[in-house]
């Protein structure tokens, strides 16, 4: 038997080296090498028989688009770009306890597309069956398999020919031809490569569930993300009940799609109208709240921004924010101070976004400014007002994309006033009942808001 040898892998790209290196010669990242004892007990098995594959003209290649599988979960279909593409390898990442297993088990139980193979290396068959009962689905076509050896999984899949396979999780896979622990770079890389060849050659789509490290990256080598066709990250914090499924890579669709779920006692439920939940408990008489009309991916959402401005008790004022970039908050406060003459330098400023969402769309700036002004002046804003605009360094309010979508979302939720930048292009008719107010500078906002 071959002797176990120490090999070093770059955790970023999977580059293999016989000795430790400070800098990876392949991807250039620093301090990314991890040591693994690897004992190859032979070579990787073939995923499917080695068929005589020949190059062929592009016109003769069958198109897979029409045959996308429609899963029972409309949100997941949307995130995947309109259904599951045959032969695709999809990675669902997320922190422990976020609901990855629940989501995929629900899909496997409710799918009406033929047999489904649900493989788990984390839970036993009886534990999964208990959970399935709790989810209340019959799951006649769902087959459970407690297994972590990729070869055994493939053998079962080849015999069963399921509509799709779910593997929970990639970190528990243990290929028998490699003698290193599950979850190590070499195990994940080789097992995933085998599953990918299987998916491509058999046309059976495979879902891989993957854990996420503290830093937010998929545990294991970065090559995993390069290998798979689609990466969807399941996020949201455990205290809040929202779960967002966000696509970060998709070979078969856009990465702008976002699925929103709500964790309930009987499993994850898609949220049909997320804005109504993100608006928090709106109370007209309180100062410091403003609604923002944002677009996450291509999905318009109205979300409540809460601000608290109070005199600093300690020498250095505190600035903290949940869900909004704190550096951007510092910038907005500097703009208010310098361009508009608000004295905020000696104030504590806290920002919170309702629902535990974290927003990157800069169009939320205007609502943040509005909530800070409302709290600082102690004037409450009408609950029927919302905002969409990016704020620049000179205090100008800049136009944002997809204004029409924001307009219709605001109108749908019963808002009567929407503030946008006066530089926004002329819009087609605003929806009935919604007044669109254009402002060009932050300085003009206060008068326009409360005037
Ligand atoms: P799970 O799918 O096990 O998370 P992951 O696979 O991402 O680690 O889900 C974990 C959480 O979801 C768990 O803390 C309990 C909660 N949960 C519910 O609230 N309702 C349910 O019906 C189920 C199945 C789980
Ligand atoms: Mg799990």
Whether residue 161 contacts residue 204, with contact meaning beta carbons closer than 8 Å, is answered with yes
pLDDT of residue 10: 85
Which whole number is the average pLDDT over 76-104?
92
Which whole number is the average pLDDT over 13-40?
84
Look at 155-169, 221-235, 321-335 and tell me which has the smallest mean pLDDT. 221-235
Q: Which atom of ligand 1 is nearest to the CA of 100?
A: 7
What is the rounded distance in angstroms from the CA atom of residue 127 to the CA atom of residue 120?
10
Closest ligand to C-alpha of residue 171 is 2
Look at 89-98, 166-175, 298-307, 435-444 and tell me which has the smallest mean pLDDT. 298-307
C-alpha of residue 340 to centroid of ligand 2, in Å: 51
101 CB near ligand 1 (under 6 Å): yes
Q: Which atom of ligand 1 is nearest to the CA of 95?
A: 7
pLDDT of residue 51: 55
pLDDT tops 90 at residue 120: yes
pLDDT tops 70 at residue 2: no
Structure confidence by residue, pLDDT tens digits, 183-232 = 888 889 889 999 999 999 999 999 999 988 777 677 777 778 889 999 99
pLDDT of residue 411: 86
C-alpha of residue 270 to centroid of ligand 1, in Å: 15
Closest ligand to C-alpha of residue 212 is 1
pLDDT tops 80 at residue 288: yes
pLDDT tops 80 at residue 280: no
269 CB near ligand 1 (under 6 Å): no
Q: Which atom of ligand 1 is nearest to the CA of 96?
A: 8
Look at 28-32, 156-160, 274-278, 371-375 and tell me which has the smallest mean pLDDT. 274-278
Question: Does the predicted TM-score (pTM) go above 0.95?
Answer: no
Q: Whose CA is nearest to atom 13 of ligand 1?
A: 97
Which whole number is the average pLDDT over 44-71?
72
Which whole number is the average pLDDT over 163-175?
93
265 CB near ligand 1 (under 6 Å): yes
Structure confidence by residue, pLDDT tens digits, 227-250 = 999 999 988 765 666 788 888 889
pLDDT of residue 237: 61
pLDDT of residue 372: 95
Supply φ then ψ for residue 69, to 5 degrees: -80, 130
C-alpha of residue 102 to centroid of ligand 1, in Å: 6
Q: Whose CA is nearest to atom 10 of ligand 1?
A: 97
- Residue 427: pLDDT band with limits 50, 70, 90: confident
Residues of the chain with pLDDT > 70, as a percent, come to 91
Closest ligand to C-alpha of residue 169 is 2
pLDDT tops 90 at residue 425: no
Mutate to test the pocket of ligand 1, among 104, 261, 263, 266 (most ligand atoms within 8 A of CB): 263
pLDDT of residue 194: 93
Bridge partners, 353 (sequence order): 305
Q: Whose CA is nearest to atom 1 of ligand 1?
A: 99
Q: Whose CA is nearest to atom 9 of ligand 1?
A: 99
pLDDT tops 70 at residue 44: no
Which whole number is the average pLDDT over 415-435?
87
CA angle 149, 216, 244 (to 5 degrees): 90
240 vs 181 pLDDT, higher one: 181
Which whole number is the average pLDDT over 1-24?
81
425 vs 172 pLDDT, higher one: 172
What is the rounded distance in angstroms from the CA atom of residue 189 to the CA atom of residue 364?
40
94 CB near ligand 1 (under 6 Å): yes
Mutate to test the pocket of ligand 1, among 102, 110, 244 (most ligand atoms within 8 A of CB): 102
Q: Which atom of ligand 1 is nearest to the CA of 105?
A: 2
323 CB near ligand 1 (under 6 Å): no
Residue written as tokens 């998929």? 218
C-alpha of residue 71 to centroid of ligand 1, in Å: 20
pLDDT tops 80 at residue 373: yes
pLDDT of residue 63: 66
C-alpha of residue 63 to centroid of ligand 2, in Å: 34
Mean pLDDT computed over every residue of the chain? 86
With CA atoms as reference, report the closest residue to 33 among 48, 49, 17, 51: 17
pLDDT of residue 274: 75
- Residue 3: pLDDT band with limits 50, 70, 90: low
What is the rounded distance in angstroms from the CA atom of residue 67 to the CA atom of residue 371?
48
Which whole number is the average pLDDT over 381-398?
92
Structure confidence by residue, pLDDT tens digits, 291-307 = 999 988 767 888 999 99
- Residue 47: pLDDT band with limits 50, 70, 90: low
The dihedral built from the CA positions of residue 254, 110, 207 and 262, taken in this order, carries a sign that is: positive
Which whole number is the average pLDDT over 14-40?
84
Residues of the chain with pLDDT > 90, as a percent, come to 44
With CA atoms as reference, report the closest residue to 235 among 96, 420, 424: 96
C-alpha of residue 153 to centroid of ligand 2, in Å: 18
- Residue 313: pLDDT band with limits 50, 70, 90: confident
98 CB near ligand 1 (under 6 Å): yes
């Amino acid at each position: 038997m071959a002797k176990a040898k120490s090999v070093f892998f770059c955790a970023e790209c999977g580059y293999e080296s016989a000795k430790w290196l400070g800098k990876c010669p392949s991807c250039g990242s620093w301090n990314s090498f991890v040591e693994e004892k690897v004992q190859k007990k032979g070579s990787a098995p073939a995923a499917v028989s080695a068929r005589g594959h020949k190059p062929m003209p592009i016109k003769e290649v069958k198109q897979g688009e029409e045959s996308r599988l429609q899963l029972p979960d409309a949100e997941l279909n949307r995130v995947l770009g309109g259904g599951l593409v045959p032969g695709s390898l999809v990675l669902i990442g997320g922190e422990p306890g976020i609901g990855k297993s629940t989501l995929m088990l629900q899909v496997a139980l409710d799918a009406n597309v033929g047999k489904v193979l649900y493989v788990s290396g984390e839970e036993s068959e009886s534990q999964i069956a208990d959970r399935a009962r709790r989810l209340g689905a019959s799951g006649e076509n769902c087959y459970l398999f407690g297994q972590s050896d990729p070869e055994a999984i493939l053998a079962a899949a080849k015999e069963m020919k399921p509509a799709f396979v779910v593997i929970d999780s990639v970190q528990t896979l243990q290929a028998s031809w490699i003698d290193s622990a599950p979850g190590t770079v070499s195990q994940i890389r080789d097992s995933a490569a085998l599953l990918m060849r299987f998916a491509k050659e058999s046309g059976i789509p495979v879902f891989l569930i993957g854990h996420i490290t503290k830093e937010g990256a998929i545990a294991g080598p970065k090559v995993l993300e390069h290998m798979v066709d689609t990466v969807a990250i399941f996020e949201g914090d455990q205290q809040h009940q929202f779960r967002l499924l966000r696509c970060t890579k998709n070979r078969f669709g856009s990465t702008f799609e976002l699925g929103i779920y709500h964790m309930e006692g009987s499993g994850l439920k898609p949220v049909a109208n997320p804005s109504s939940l993100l608006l928090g408990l709106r109370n007209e008489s309180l100062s410091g709240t403003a609604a923002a009309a944002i677009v996450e991916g291509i999905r318009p959402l109205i979300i409540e921004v809460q601000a608290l401005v109070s005199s600093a008790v300690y020498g250095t004022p505190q600035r903290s924010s949940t869900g909004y970039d704190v550096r951007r908050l510092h910038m907005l406060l500097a703009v208010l101070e310098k361009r508009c003459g608000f004295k905020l330098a000696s104030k504590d400023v806290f920002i919170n976004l309702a629902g535990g969402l974290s927003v990157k769309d800069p169009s939320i700036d205007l609502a943040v400014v509005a909530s800070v002004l409302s709290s600082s002046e102690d004037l409450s804003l009408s609950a029927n007002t919302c905002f969409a605009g990016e704020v620049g360094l000179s205090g100008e309010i800049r136009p944002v994309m997809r204004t029409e979508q924001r307009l219709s979302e605001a109108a749908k939720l019963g808002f009567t006033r929407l503030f946008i930048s006066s530089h926004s292009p002329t819009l087609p008719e605003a929806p009935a009942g919604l007044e669109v107010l254009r402002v060009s500078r932050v300085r003009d906002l206060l008068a326009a808001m409360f005037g």
